[in-house]
Amino acid sequence: MTPKATIRAEAQRLHAAFVAAGAVPVEADILLPAETLLDLYGEDIRARAYTTHDPLRGEMMLRPDFTVPVVQAHMAHGAEPARYCYLGEVFRQQDRASDRASEYLQVGFEVFDRSAPEAADAEVFALFQGMLADLALRPATGDIGILMAAVRGLDTTPRRRAALLHHIWRPRRFRALLDRFAGRAAVPAARVRLLERLAKGSPEALIAEAGTFVGLRSAEEISARAVALLEDAGEKPISAPEAAMLYDLLTLEAPAAAALAHLKGITPLLPAIALAVDRFAARLDALAARGVDVEALPFEASHGRTSLEYYDGFVFSFHAVDKGMPPVASGGRYDALTAVLGAGAFIPAVGGVIRPGLVARIRGLA
């Protein structure tokens, strides 16, 4: 059997296990309209997507993932509750120096169920853990929702909260913004000079002085940005206690049960996370009920912040001993995505994918 045939056989085996777990097999087009998808997938896949232009349909994209088209199909005519599974190729450009494949098989499982979201989280994680049990993989879990709740509850301007939320999936940029908003980092010299010039004259005068336009921003957009910079420079820093709690969250790594105890301890100091922590507690109960050892299950509050930007709650992945290998499986909760694609409708949703090529590689079959 050729390596491709071996991987395909592994994919079919995994797909059959999802069907046995109650999922309905679905298909998704390989060539998808790009307009909405490029915004939803986030900066990482946006930069790695294969795009082309169709004279009739406009900009199109080779499928980089199944979740968005599956959500679109469900929100258009899906029943409730619903469980879906799929199998097929996905396509992502890689760096020249990378040895990662730009085309590979993906097998996935998605659950749409509004009755008990935390139980659905546990169902998906436990199913994946059981299917991959013989590979001795290392699990990792997190909860983007806790960090998002903390940011939304900060006593700062809506503009600063929006900037931090936008950059949650870019850890370095997020940390740089938090440092600046908390008064822990000096304002860059170039920005200081710009602010000094803006304070002495109007944005419109500086724009006129600059000469010919370069780039895509209009004069109105540049002027609005300049005004926003001036306003932000006059804002008070995020308070030291609030900033300290946020820094604490960013670095929290512990077994899940211990992490829950820690989060409950800091909730009185950061009350905005209370509901997210309650959901975390309910999820751990649901996981324990499915036989997952939550006393040992790794948890990182920042886990998943470099993955797909539509995740907004529970996130997980399974990793091989070889640290150079991508995650063998990964997934998470994406409730907000269903609202974006549902034209006002909404349903809690969670899912994950397995890369059968990596499974076959670990087993020495490919």
Same domain, 13 and 144: no
Which of these, 157, 154, 94, 76, lies nearest to 345 by C-alpha position? 76
Same domain, 227 and 82: no
- Which pLDDT value is given to residue 186? 64
The residues facing 316 across adjacent strands are 141, 331
Domain contains 326: no
By the 10 Å C-beta count (0-12 exposed, 13-18 middle, 19+ buried), 287 is classed as buried
Same domain, 195 and 308: no
Same domain, 75 and 86: yes
Domain contains 16: yes
Same domain, 298 and 158: yes
Same domain, 283 and 164: yes
Q: Which 8-state DSSP code applies to residue 133?
A: G
Domain contains 267: yes
DSSP string, 201-221: S-HHHHHHHH-S--SS--HHH
β-pair type (24-25, 82-91):
parallel
Spatial neighbors of 33 by CB under 8 A, at least 6 apart, are 57, 58, 59, 60, 61
- Which pLDDT value is given to residue 224? 61
The domain total for the chain is 3
Q: What is the CATH number of the domain that holds 63?
A: 3.30.930.10
Q: What is the pLDDT along the chain (366 residues), one digit of tens a residue?
A: 668 899 999 999 999 999 999 999 999 999 988 887 777 776 666 777 888 888 888 888 899 899 989 999 999 887 789 999 999 999 988 777 677 788 999 999 999 999 999 999 999 999 999 999 999 999 999 999 999 999 999 999 999 999 999 999 889 999 999 998 998 866 666 666 666 666 666 666 665 566 555 555 655 665 566 556 655 666 788 999 999 999 999 999 999 999 999 999 999 999 999 999 999 999 999 999 999 999 999 999 999 888 778 899 999 999 998 878 899 999 999 999 998 888 778 899 999 999 999 999 999 876
Same domain, 122 and 213: no
Token code pair at residue 167: 């950059």
- Which pLDDT value is given to residue 194? 62
Same domain, 63 and 191: no
- Which pLDDT value is given to residue 41? 73
Whether 77 and 347 have beta carbons less than 8 Å apart is answered as no
Same domain, 277 and 154: yes
Domain contains 3: yes
- Which pLDDT value is given to residue 350? 97
Q: Which residue has the tokens 């990964």?
A: 330
- Which pLDDT value is given to residue 345? 84
Domain contains 176: no
Give the pTM. 0.87
Same domain, 83 and 130: yes
Range of the domain at 222: 184-236
Same domain, 262 and 314: yes
- Long-range contacts, 239-245 (Cβ 8 Å, 24+): 239/155, 240/182, 241/269, 242/154, 242/155, 242/270, 243/178, 243/182, 243/184, 245/150, 245/269, 245/270
Which of these, 70, 5, 114, lies nearest to 331 by C-alpha position? 70
Same domain, 159 and 269: yes
